[in-house]
Structure formats: structure tokens, C-alpha cells
A and B are shown apart, each in its own frame.
Chain A
Amino acid sequence: MEWLLRSDFDVATTVALWSIAGVSVTTIVLFGYTMGLRIVTIRADSRRQRFLAEWRDIFASSALSASAAETCALPTIRAGSRIDLLEEWNLARSIVSGDAAGHLMVLARRAGIPEVATQLLQRQRMRSKILAVQTLGHLRDKTHRDPICDLVQHDNTALSITAAVALAEIDPAFAVNVLIPLIPVRRDWPKNRVSLLLRFLGSELISEPMYRTIRAADDDAKTYLLQFARLVEAEVLDALVVELIRDSSDPGVLSAALKLVSGFEGVPRIATLTHHPVWFVRMQAAKVLGRVGQQEHLALLEALLCDREWWVRYRAAQAVASLPFLGPNQLRRMQRESKDPFAADILQQAFAEVGLA
């Protein structure tokens, strides 16, 4: 190996030689780190399981009994186990309600969970922040309402939606007025979580702000918000839908509103909407007729069976197949006598789907 120690290598070779040294050291460090990580993970998992087994019993007994929550002996909490404790407490808290939830909050205060959460909130690490916000929300801790309200605006989706949920838990009446106008702005919030959030707040609380926000919003925001409008009170929803179908000319809004029609209130304009130039409005009109249509609407559906757009024909055929006043024989005759081959084909498919083929 003496040749390696020569001093007359050119620059490129010298750089390569030093690079080998750097690469070798880096590789050994990465290898050591990976192995060390594996050892640490195995040990931490084992310790974590023991710790959590102990606390799970405490959570279970505390959820069932107020006296257990107030008096049971608490194990020492090491600094390294505090996050595990918060995660487990949040899990327990999210699956109970009523008195049991109250008991768990009493236990949390005894265990110092609010203080741990407050400390974690100051950390830079996103996962810690999210856990802290979630915990403070579950604790219904009003002293943190304003900082959590600020975090609703955070760029990070997970943090902002968690903060929104926490805000709803801490102060629902305040939260509706902050969160509902934000829904069409924060399109990054997963829709199912928005839906769960609104469900949590309850139809009574959200109906008026939703109605107000939808009416004031532009067409794009209206369309987006209408996806969650099913969660408002029925009479508010009906009034909103009638108003939108009557007044709106935007295809997106019309389509979203038509999806919410549950009775005849929005039907008067349906006849015109079956001729709308935008296909998805015609398609939604067909679906409405399938839900609430009567004998006099059959002609409209028959016309839609010949529509140039496949989806309109398909939904019209499904609507025809679901009309309560048409029996199997009438449906089969309708298909046989259909002069339009597209209409006949799509009726055949729709009838086959409901076992009428």
C-alpha cells in the first residue's frame, strides 16, 4: 500500500483519494447510525410497551370512576416517556365521551399533561406541535384559545386542521365564526376532516354561519362549501338550495345545489335545467328527477336518455329505473319501444344493474 502514500499524484487523483477517505468515513458513520438506531428502537419499544401497559390500566380505571381518577397512584413519568403518555392519553380521550372524558381530564391535570403540552407547543418540531395542540384541544383549555386560533392559519396542513379541531373543542361558539369562512380558503384541509369538524360542532351551531357564508361567497367558494351543506339543519338547507337553484347561473353552484335537493322545493326550475348547456348540470337534474320526480317528469327523463353525453344518459336511465310508479313490465316496454339506440343501450345497462335485464 506504499503507493497510496506517494506525493506525486495529479490534482484529480489527489481529490479522488481524499474523496475515498470521505466516502468511507461517511459510509461507516451511516452504517453505525443505522445499526445504533436499530438497537435504540428495539430498546425504546420494549420500554414503551411496559410504560404504556401500566398507563392503559390507569386510563381504563379512571374513565370508569371519578374517585380512581382523583386518587389513584401515578407512576413516575420520565422525560423520555412524556410524548408517549400524551399520545396514549389523546387516544384514550378521543374514544370516550361524557363523564369518562371529564374523568380523564382530571387525571391529565394530576399527571401534569397540560404543562407537558404547553412545553411541546413551543418546540419547532412539527410532530410535537401537533401533539400539543391536539392535547390542549382535548383538555378544553381556554387559556390557549388565542395561540391555537393563530395556528389555524399555519401553512402546514396537519397542524392547521388539528388546530381547527382543537379550537372547536375549546370554544365551539367562537370557532364556527372563525372556521367556516376559512373552509373554502383552506382547500388543503382534507374534506373528510372538515366534515368531521362540522359534525362535531353540530348542525344547530353551524347552520346560520354556513348559510351566511355560502350566500356571501363567490361561485367557486359556494360550490366548495355546498359539499358540506348536508350537515346544516334541514329547513336551512332547503331554503338555501331553493334560493341557489332559483338565482344562480354558475354551473358548479347549480350542480352542487341540485345534489342537495331532497323534495319538490327546488323542482320548479328542473325542467329548464334538463336543457342546460353544461352536461353535469343536466346529469344532476336527471338524478334529482330520479329522487323526487313524478309522472309528469317522465318525458323530461326520456329526453335525457338521448343526451349526447354518456353520463347524462346513464344517470337518466338509473333515474327511470328507480321511479316508484313504473313497474318492471313498463320499464321493459320502454326499453323495447325506444327508437334511439343509445337510449335503448343505456336503459339495458341500468336495468341490468338493478336486476331487471
Chain B
Amino acid sequence: MTVADVVLYGQWVFLAYFVGINTGYLMQNVIAAIGIRRYLQTADQYEAENAFSALDIPISVIVPAFNESASIITSVKAMLQLEYPQYELIVVNDGSTDDTLDKLIDEFGMRPFPEAYRARVPCAEVRGVYRSVKAGNLRVVDKENGGSKADASNAGINVCRYPLVCVVDADSVLQPDSLRRVVRPYLEDPKTVAVGGTVRIANGCTVRQGFLEKVGLPSNFLALAQVVEYLRAFLFGRMGWSPINGLLIISGAFGLFHKETLVEAGGYNPEAVGEDMELVLRLHRLMKEKQRDYRITFVPDPVCWTDAPENLRDLKSQRVRWQHGLGQALMLNRSLIFNRRGGAVSWVAIPFYLVFELLGPIVEVLGYVFILTCAFMGWLAWPEAAIFLGLAIGLGVLLSTSAIMLEEISFHMYPRFRQLFALYMMAIIENFGFRQLTAIWRLQGLVRWLRGGKHEWETLTRSASLAEEP
């Protein structure tokens, strides 16, 4: 095979990948647009007449916390004010080495509680359970460090009492009506076993007493790029898979699960790097194996705001971990791939994730190397290369533009024209550097998974732009 042949075949491989991934994204976009339109048509009506009653399903909110001393009190105070008729809040202190537990005990009047504990899903040893004398629906589980959020979440599942379980990050900022919004699919369809909600970037927003007061955009370049990225990921990434019951990820920052199904699936996997995705895949697998009719669905409402990394070190760490988790989750649930009874999950969603999300970074980074090599060696046909590069960038901008439009049609959280312009500018600029960097980090994550790296709790540097007002 000559060099010319290699270049020719290489071109066709990259072209096929390019056509495949963009066709997939454009289809998700169309499905998401239809889904959001349909959702919004009935949302107001549902809201207006869906007054609370004793028939609402009670929810256990689980907050795993490891060394969250700085934010835990504000977070718990905010979570105790959620708009929902019946819920309990369970904070799991996963062997924090700071004063997270002491702060909780002092602030909320926590007293040791003789919980008749039962271990339904595996987790590290529980040292004790505390109950608040100030807030009757607040309990704290103090346990040995299990090394992961999954282990802490499992301890929470073991002590919770209600039929629905909502696992949230301790540093998440929740919308006051988040539980009411995310419970809607359970009320509409009793076959629902898990629901995810849209997570937005909190950097640049004003947070008061744990609640979002004013939506803003971050001034930090990396955080702003992630705002556009999250719009794409949630508004059409997740919403595009949900109508065909092909949703593979429910963000660990906020997810609502049917408890008995969660327990039946064995709870979170403490060994999983991406425990959120691994759990959703395992739920799909369980339901398929038991041949049960089920729904894993998604609500487009912004229910949770999270802090995004603002420096390269933290962002790299996050992306490497996500890719590692993706590989591991797919491998652990590989029996789903092209499973005869697997439906859209097995035949559409997982193959797409496998080819374009898991292996995508290899093709993308190889593509960059290929182009640079060809350019260096003088093998590159510049006009053709410029055209394909232009198309790649153009499609990237189109997808982001579409996500911004979906946001404007649906929730218009960014009310100023200046904000809208900033998002559009970022939709263009992110194609020059940011996407290439994330592709390289994802490749590193893939390598780390193949080499069997281990995962532990990670503490990211809190963003300076997420202004907490007193």
C-alpha cells in the first residue's frame, strides 16, 4: 500500500465518521425539538392544576458529602426549603476528614438516632445515624469512607423510607420546584423507573442562601464554553434520546429513581468511575432481562445548577474521568450491545455511544495528527482540506446555534441580548482550541480506562465566579 492509498483510505474513514456523528446529532436535534415542544404544550396546564395533595409520591433526597464543610450548611438549608409536600433529606457523611459532620450536628441540632439499619445495597460500615431536632425530615448518616460517591449514595438508599429516591450533589444548587418538576413523569406513567433533569452551569450566577437568585454567564472562557456545551448536551443530547427510551445517562448531580428498582439493580456500583451512567445502563439491563415494560426519561426543565471547572487542570481531570467512566460503564453492561430484546438502547443508543462517544476521540485526535502530518509532508490538498474543515466547524456552530434556539424557545434563562451574543460568539470560538483539547483529554481517559485506572472522590476548585451572597 502506497502513501497515497493510506491518505485516500484515511480520508474516507474520517469522512464516514464525520457524516455519521453529525447525522446522529442532527437527528437528535430534530427529535429533541419535537419533544420539547410537546412537553411545553402541556407544562403550563399541568403546573396550573397540579396542586399538591396527599397522593403525591413522597421522595427521599440523598446528599452524599465528603469534605463539604464550606458549603454543606447552606446546601442543606436550601434543600430543606424545597417546594414539595412530603420529602426527607438524608445527608451521608462519607468519612469526611474536615468538620462537615460537626457543622451539621451544631447547625441542625442532630442527635444520635437508634436506626434499625438494614443493608439492602452494599456500602462501607455505617458508624451512626443522626436525626435533627430542628427539622423532622432531616437525618445524617455517618459512615466510614467508602472512597466514592456511589458508596455514600448506597448508604443513603439503605436508610431512606420513601418510594422515590433523588440523589443530588452536595454542592448542587437546586431550583425550589425541582422535585415537583422531576416527579411529573412518575405521575404520568407508572412504568417510569428513573428520571433525569437538565443541569445548568452555575458559574456567573448569583446564589443566595443556596438558591439561585439571578442567572448570569461566567466571564471565565472555559466556564462559558461549558455553558454552550451543557446546552447541547442536555437540550438535545439527552432530550433526543429520551423519546425513544434510549437515555443512557442521568447526571449524578440530580436524578430521581424508583427505589425498589434501584435496590433490585443492586444500587450504585462503588467500583464504577462514572457511577451515574453505569447505574442507568444497569437499570436498562435489569429491565430488559426481566422483560418488563419501563421508562427511563428526561425532563428538559432546568432543575439543578452546578459549578463547572474554571481551570485547565480541573477540566482535564473531569473529562478524563468522564471518558474513563463511559468506557467502564459500557464494558460492564456489554451484554446490552445488540441484545435481541434490547430495543433502541441496544441497537441505536449504545452503538452510537460506542462508536462516536467512546471511540470518537481516537478518530478525532488521529484526524488532527493526520492533517498536520499531511500538511507537513506536503500531501495535503489545501482547497479540499479547507472545505472539510469549514464544514466541520460550520456543523459544530449549527448544532450549538440550534441548542441556543431550543433554550430560547423553551426556558430563555438568559434574558439579556448581551448574554445571547456571548453564547453565539462562544459557539464559534469553542471550535478553535476548546474542542481539540477536550478530544485529547477524552483520549487520555480512554487510555486510563484501558489501563485500569482507579477512581476516588475528587475535590474540584470552587469557581470564583459563582458568587454566594450572604
* A31 touches B (CB below 8 Å): yes
Given contacts A162-B45, A187-B190, contact A30 B402 (CB under 8 A): yes
Instruction: Check A158 against B394 for contact (C-beta < 8 Å).
Output: no
* B135 touches A (CB below 8 Å): no
Complex: A342 Cα to B117 Cα, angstroms: 10
Complex: A20 Cα to B390 Cα, angstroms: 7
Complex: A13 Cα to B387 Cα, angstroms: 7
A4-12, A96-104, A112-120, A266-274: which lies at the B interface?
A4-12
- With most chain B CB atoms within 10 A of its CB, the pick from A33, A192, A346 is A192
Residues of chain A within 8 A of B118, CB atoms compared: 310
* A65 touches B (CB below 8 Å): no
Residues of chain B within 8 A of A299, CB atoms compared: none
Instruction: Check A16 against B405 for contact (C-beta < 8 Å).
Output: no
Instruction: Check A34 against B405 for contact (C-beta < 8 Å).
Output: yes
Chain A residues numbered 182-201 whose CB sits less than 8 Å from any CB in chain B: 187-188, 190-193, 195-196
**Nearest-CB distance from B366 to chain A (Å)?**
19
Instruction: Check B401 against A20 for contact (C-beta < 8 Å).
Output: no
Instruction: Check A310 against B420 for contact (C-beta < 8 Å).
Output: no
* A352 touches B (CB below 8 Å): yes
* B30 touches A (CB below 8 Å): no
Interface of A is mostly: helix
Q: Mark A321-357, 1 if CB is under 8 A from B, else 0.
A: 0000000000000000000001001101100100001
* A64 touches B (CB below 8 Å): no
Complex: A27 Cα to B42 Cα, angstroms: 29
Instruction: Check B42 against A126 for contact (C-beta < 8 Å).
Output: yes
* B424 touches A (CB below 8 Å): yes
Instruction: Check A193 against B50 for contact (C-beta < 8 Å).
Output: yes
Instruction: Check A23 against B398 for contact (C-beta < 8 Å).
Output: yes
Complex: A9 Cα to B55 Cα, angstroms: 66
Q: Mark B50-63, 1 if CB is under 8 A from A, else 0.
A: 11111110000000
Chain A residues numbered 156-195 whose CB sits less than 8 Å from any CB in chain B: 156-158, 162, 165, 187-188, 190-193, 195
Instruction: Check A31 against B114 for contact (C-beta < 8 Å).
Output: no
Instruction: Check B383 against A190 for contact (C-beta < 8 Å).
Output: no
Complex: A290 Cα to B404 Cα, angstroms: 56
Selected contact of A190 from candidates B50, B131, B394, CB within 8 Å: B50
Q: Chain B: which residue is nearest A314 at the CB level?
A: B116
Q: Chain B: which residue is nearest A355 at the CB level?
A: B133
Residues of chain A within 8 A of B383, CB atoms compared: 3-4, 6, 9, 13
Selected contact of A192 from candidates B51, B116, B387, B420, CB within 8 Å: B51
Residues of chain A within 8 A of B459, CB atoms compared: none
Instruction: Check B42 against A130 for contact (C-beta < 8 Å).
Output: yes
Instruction: Check B387 against A20 for contact (C-beta < 8 Å).
Output: yes
Complex: A192 Cα to B189 Cα, angstroms: 14
Interface of B is mostly: helix
Residues of chain B within 8 A of A191, CB atoms compared: 53, 55, 187
* A109 touches B (CB below 8 Å): no
Given contacts A38-B417, A130-B42, A158-B46, contact A19 B187 (CB under 8 A): no
Q: Chain B: which residue is nearest A21 at the CB level?
A: B394
* B99 touches A (CB below 8 Å): no
* B15 touches A (CB below 8 Å): yes
Chain A residues numbered 15-51 whose CB sits less than 8 Å from any CB in chain B: 16-17, 19-20, 23-24, 26-27, 30-31, 33-35, 37-38, 41
Q: Chain B: which residue is nearest A159 at the CB level?
A: B42
Q: Chain B: which residue is nearest A357 at the CB level?
A: B114
Given contacts A9-B384, A190-B50, A190-B188, contact A34 B408 (CB under 8 A): yes
* B113 touches A (CB below 8 Å): yes
- With most chain A CB atoms within 10 A of its CB, the pick from B50, B390, B391 is B391
**Nearest-CB distance from B325 to chain A (Å)?**
32
* A127 touches B (CB below 8 Å): yes
Complex: A131 Cα to B187 Cα, angstroms: 22
* A282 touches B (CB below 8 Å): no
Instruction: Check A30 against B391 for contact (C-beta < 8 Å).
Output: no
Instruction: Check A16 against B398 for contact (C-beta < 8 Å).
Output: no
**Nearest-CB distance from A228 to chain B (Å)?**
8
* B388 touches A (CB below 8 Å): yes
Q: Chain A: which residue is nearest B115 at the CB level?
A: A349
Complex: A59 Cα to B19 Cα, angstroms: 58
**Nearest-CB distance from A225 to chain B (Å)?**
13
Chain A residues numbered 63-94 whose CB sits less than 8 Å from any CB in chain B: none
Instruction: Check A17 against B387 for contact (C-beta < 8 Å).
Output: yes
* A138 touches B (CB below 8 Å): no
**Nearest-CB distance from B23 to chain A (Å)?**
12
* B70 touches A (CB below 8 Å): no
Q: Chain B: which residue is nearest A2 at the CB level?
A: B383
**Nearest-CB distance from A10 to chain B (Å)?**
8
Instruction: Check A352 against B113 for contact (C-beta < 8 Å).
Output: yes
* A222 touches B (CB below 8 Å): no
Q: Chain B: which residue is nearest A191 at the CB level?
A: B55
Residues of chain B within 8 A of A24, CB atoms compared: 394
Chain A interface (Cβ within 8 Å of chain B)? 3-4, 6, 9-10, 12-13, 16-17, 19-20, 23-24, 26-27, 30-31, 33-35, 37-38, 41, 125-127, 130-131, 134, 156-158, 162, 165, 187-188, 190-193, 195-196, 227, 310, 313-314, 342, 345-346, 348-349, 352, 357
23 A-B contact pairs sorted by A residue (CB < 8 Å): A9-B387, A13-B383, A20-B387, A20-B390, A23-B394, A27-B398, A30-B398, A34-B420, A35-B417, A37-B405, A37-B408, A37-B409, A38-B408, A41-B412, A126-B42, A130-B42, A158-B41, A158-B42, A191-B55, A192-B55, A193-B49, A342-B116, A352-B113
Closest 6 CB pairs of A and B: A192-B53, A158-B42, A191-B55, A23-B394, A348-B114, A345-B116
